[in-house]
Amino acid sequence: MAEQTVPDSEMPSPRASPVDAAAWLQHLLQAQPDAANAQTQQMLLLIQQQGQRIDQVANLLAVTEKPARPKLPNPEKFTADDLSLLPQFLRKLRAKLEIDADASGAGKAQVWFCFSRLDGKAAARRYFAQLSVAFEDPVRKDKALNRLNTLSEPSHWRTNVRTRPPLAPY
């Protein structure tokens, strides 16, 4: 059985009489838990709203985040005209890839960046080396040796009965 409380506007002043003061005090004590619950609900609602706003801002930042800016300049292109410059070029290239990893990307992007820093003979050599790796038969030499080892010699070549050892790969 719930007690009904008198609204504040209808509550008598606590100074009117001792009976009125007791009723006023009882009203305040009954209203305190209700007010605390209402404040708790308001705070929970505000926390939930703030969480949603934080998520919105985080999503907005993720979408509008600028890519990292490179810290080091690009190394000069290597032409292979002067091979004594190769160690210096490689050090600069490694430093660029390590320090500017966020700006230069990863994997294929780094490979293409390295290739873009080659010019002239160096680029042509690298290009033909890549073509060879991509399209040459990796076991071509082994196949040739096997073919040589399985060929039968003509009978007129067999002057010595001893058999020769098979050719070894080099």
Domain boundaries, the chain: 16-64, 69-148
| Contact status, residue 159 vs residue 118, Cβ threshold 8 Å | no
Q: Where are the alpha helices (DSSP H) in 65-107?
A: 86-99, 101-104
The residue assigned the tokens 């890519």 is 67
| Contact status, residue 27 vs residue 11, Cβ threshold 8 Å | yes
Tens digits of pLDDT across the chain (170 residues): 444 555 555 555 556 666 677 777 788 778 788 778 888 888 888 888 988 888 888 887 766 666 678 788 888 988 888 888 888 988 998 898 888 877 777 778 888 888 888 888 877 777 677 767 767 777 888 888 888 777 766 665 655 555 666 666 66
Q: What CA–CA distance (Å, rounded) separates 170 from 168? A: 6
What token pair was written down for 152?
């039968």
Single-letter code of the amino acid located at 53: R
Single-letter code of the amino acid located at 103: A
What token pair was written down for 133?
């790796």
The residue assigned the tokens 């390590």 is 98
Predicted pLDDT of residue 1: 41
What token pair was written down for 101?
């990893």
Predicted pLDDT of residue 159: 58
Per-residue model confidence as pLDDT tens digits over 32-53: 887 788 888 888 888 889 888 8
Predicted pLDDT of residue 2: 46
How many residues can be counted in the chain?
170
β-bridge mates for residue 118, sequence order? 78
Provide the whole-model pTM: 0.40
Predicted pLDDT of residue 16: 60
